[in-house]
Each structure stands twice: as C-alpha cells, then as structure tokens.
Structure 1
Amino acid sequence: MLKPGGSRTFQEYSTVVFISNIESQLEYRSRLDLVWDCYLKSGSLKATVRCNRGKGIRRRVTASGPLPSNWQNFLRNSDNKEKLFSFLSEQVMQLVVKESHSKKTAWATWNAFPEVTTAFLSLASTPSELPDGVLSTQERFIVLLYDSTSTCCDVNVLRKKLFSRKSRSLEDLPPTRAALEQHIKRAAYQAGHIWGQATIAFVSLPSPCDWGWMKSGDELEPLWTTLSEVSVMPRAHLLRLQKTLRWQV
C-alpha cells in the first residue's frame, strides 16, 4: 500500500514513507496494531497464485541498501518481505511517540500521587463491588488533574471553585462525584472483569447494570450520573450565579 515514491534507500523509505504514515495515524488514535502479512512456507492456499506470479529476485534489506526499481517484483519474494518486515519492525521499536500535553500532565500527577496506583490495581482485580476508599482516592486524583495546587478532596467543591473563575467554562470543569463514581464503575467492569478474564474460557461476569450501565429497551446505555436532570438556565442568570459564587468563594 505504501509505495516508495522518491525514496532511494530502505532507510529513506522507512523514515519518509512508513514511519511518517505511522505517526500520522497516531495523531488521532490512541492505539495502532501492526500485523505483518507473511506467507506460509507450506500448505498455503495462495501458493499456486504466488507461483504463477513468479518469485521475484531476492535482495538484501539494509538501511543503506538501494530500493529495487521494481517494488512489486521485490515483494513477490517471500524472503524479501520477511527481511523488509523485520527491518521495519526495528524502525518502529525506535519510534518515540510524542505525548500530548494532557497525557504528560496525567503522568506527572500520577507520579506525584502514588497512592492512586493501589486504587487502580484494586479496580483491575475483578472486584465484586467498588472497593472501600477507591472512590475517595480517585476523587483526589481527579482534583489534582484539574488543579495541581489544590488541597481539596471533593470534586464537587472544586467544581464550584473553578466555576467561579471567569477563565473556566462548563466544559473545563471536572465531573461531579456522582458522575465520577459511575465512570469508575464502568472502567472497573471493562478492565477488571472483561479484560481481566480475557484468557479464561468460561467467564463469570456480573450484571453491567451494577457497574455504571443501564438498560434502555434491549440495549445498554451508560449511566452517566445518578443526579436528577436540571433545566437549562438562561445565560444572563448563569452569569449572575457565576458572579455570586465568585464572591462567596
């Protein structure tokens, strides 16, 4: 799929074409799996087709080695493909993926708050219910993500403080405690129960309705929060409320 274009060496092809494509994919994906299409040595259903196409000329694949003039003919040789895939795999292993600012902030906060590691591990161990203390620990972690200097342990209190600042919009506020609890339950259900039993033939899964989900007809939908819905407040009233809260805080 990725033609050499104007690349002259295998290293140039790897850097300009292959790695460049990988980096562009990772700009809007959190995960990318590479699966190499290798031919079986024997018993392959495509063996006859490959035989009719020809085997191609075997070439050495090195960083400084020149690219073949006939790319398709080069790929017809199974040994060439294996060498090429091995070379590209080594290039991928050296790739340093650039982290977004938000990811760097999350890692820095995690390092500064190591207690959250224990909470994460308890969620990944197929708990029968939300372990004691996990919610409060996760709540403190979320507070630090939104305000690293805060001494607050209650996300609802932090929401009020941040909302009172003119620089914070509603979209930039942390979740309520009720919404956070449901989110933690969904994460624990996915990581602890589903992924945690991925290697077990017959898994035992609790009802998702006990872990942040709810039934809507025959389908499941996220239970975003246990708080009741509020009516939409006019912008003028919202600004007055924001000003009042700012004076109170």
Structure 2
Amino acid sequence: MFVEQINSYPVKYPDGMSARVADWPTMPAHSRHQGVLTFQEYGDRVFAPYISAQLEKSSRIDLVWDVYLPASLKASTRQKRGKGTRKRVAPSTVMPKNWKDFLRCDENKTDLFAFLSRRVVHLPLAEGKELYATDGSGVLCSPAESYLACLAPCSQEEADTRLLLHVADAVQKGCKKVTIRTVDTDVVVLAVASFSKIAPDELWVAFGVGSSFRYIAVHEIVATMNPTKCLTLPVLHAFTGCDTVSAFAGRGKKTAWETWKSFPEVTGAFNYLLCMPREVSEGSMLLLERFVVLMYDRTSESIEVLKLHALGSCPVLFFANKGRSGEIRGDLVHHFGNADGFVREILLK
C-alpha cells in the first residue's frame, strides 16, 4: 500500500546517486546558526560548505527556492501567519537575532535566496560536477555554459512543483539516479505521478526530518501501482485535503487510500478531473459522492451525501441512511472547486 510504503523505508543513503535536488526548508538557510555575525559569514561558513559536502555525494546539485507572488493562493495564508520585519540582505548586514521573524517576510526570503544562489554558483567545482540554483524565475548555474532552456524562465511559485522540472532536466542530461530532498508530502505525490514521464532508473525522495526521516523509493512504489492510479494520485491527494484545500473531518489519507482500493470505480472520476474540465460531469460527481460516503461508512449503499455540521471551510459529511438531512452537493462542488484549483496550479505550470 502506498501509505505503508512511505513509512517503511530505512534511513540508509541510496548508493550511486548522480543528482540531488533540494527545496529550501531542507537547507541550512532554513535555520539560524550560532556564531555567525553577517550574511557574508553565513554564506561562507555555513551554506557553501554544506553545498560542497553535497557535491561529494553527487555529480549534480540543484537548489530550488520558493517564489513569493502577491496575487497567489498562498499569499493570504502567509499573511495569516503574520508579517516579519523587513531587513536588507547584504554581505555586511548583521544576521537577524529573530530568525523566525525574519523568515516571515517574503521580501527577506527573496533577497536571502538570491544572495545564497549567487554565492554558491561561484564555488570552485571539480571536473564533471554541476550546480544549479533558482533565482526568481531564472536559474543560475555552474559551469555557466550549461543549457537552461528547460528550466528558465519558470512561472512556478512553489518549489514542490519546480523540483520535478529540475529532476526531468537532470535525467535528460544523463543523471539516471536522482534524489529529491524535501519535507513536503506534495512532492512525494508529484514524484509518483511524474515518474513514468521523467523515466529515471531510480528516483528517491529523502523525506522528513529527525526520527521521521526516510528514503522513499519512488521507482519501487510505481512498480507496484496501476499506471492510471499513479497519474491520478495528485487528484486524490488534493480532493482529500492538502495545502490550500481543506481535509474531510476525521478522515485522513490512509482512509482515503483504503477507500480508493475498495471503490476503484472512482478512478474514472479522478482521471476525468485530471483533464481539468470546466465543470464536473454528473457521472463523475456521483462517483465522487459515493467515494465520500464510503470514506465514512464502508457498509453504506447510499450515494447521497448529507450534511451533519461544518468544520472550518470543509463540511463534515454523513449519509442518508444514517437518518440525517440537508443535502450538500453544493458544498461538495465547492470543495471540489478548491481541489481543482490546486490541481490546476500544480499541473499547468
């Protein structure tokens, strides 16, 4: 089972990795380091040595940063977390004492990412080594003559989707064993969905932190799954709650996966939604309703989804055969609209 496989892989580093692609929460830039006075020291004493150490394990390193667009779906979410104090990032600038406050300001992170990218691309590289670092919509690289047409300019805001572009580019350039370093479940889902198109020999996800850290063998997961299920996995992931989409109350990913296994007919609806239609067809909506019913009651024969009460922006769902009332197809359509928006965001870019 997909969920069980994610939890079953050991911490041992896979041998023979030719490329490593990492998003920023996994890098030293995500945490404050004691004894570092200025951003110049931070780049020289913390970040550059980290990248050099990674290059000893792989022939290619890609650093992928988020881009912060004011009109994006994520902007309002970031605003709710509070806005940090603006601080200029320059070599001689003293490091902020409150690192979390510093990272709450999108402009600070944008400047920091640009500063670090420009620092590491000037590292001396051994022959056969390559380094790529995103810089806004562009990409900086070393050696400078590297072909970048497949990577830039890029309109993607989230690093989790942009990571896969860098994986595809690495594979096209001969790196057949690739590791993605991330703490985001979305990346695991996208890696499974994209694997057959990218076609590496091996694709690993170095996932999590601390005691929950694991290496996930995406190629092994894909080998055990139906190809259509692999492709439609992002739809299930979005529909059952992720990122900017609310989850169904009391029902997590494991329940959703088990329900999908027992009700494979909904795959047709997921596949239909993968085509991003303007409206959901009646047949697909009936399958989605039935899927939600089964998430809450495997013995139910009803296809009607009824409202019990609301939790946040997502309704808690129950069924007609439990004696509840108040049809909420409209709420389910609204929920799908949120999920569809997320799927469009990750698949169209």
Q: TM-score of the superposition, structure 1-length normalised? A: 0.38
Which structure shows the higher helix fraction? 1
Which structure shows the higher strand fraction? 2
Q: TM-score of the superposition, structure 2-length normalised? A: 0.28
Larger gyration radius, structure 1 or structure 2: 1
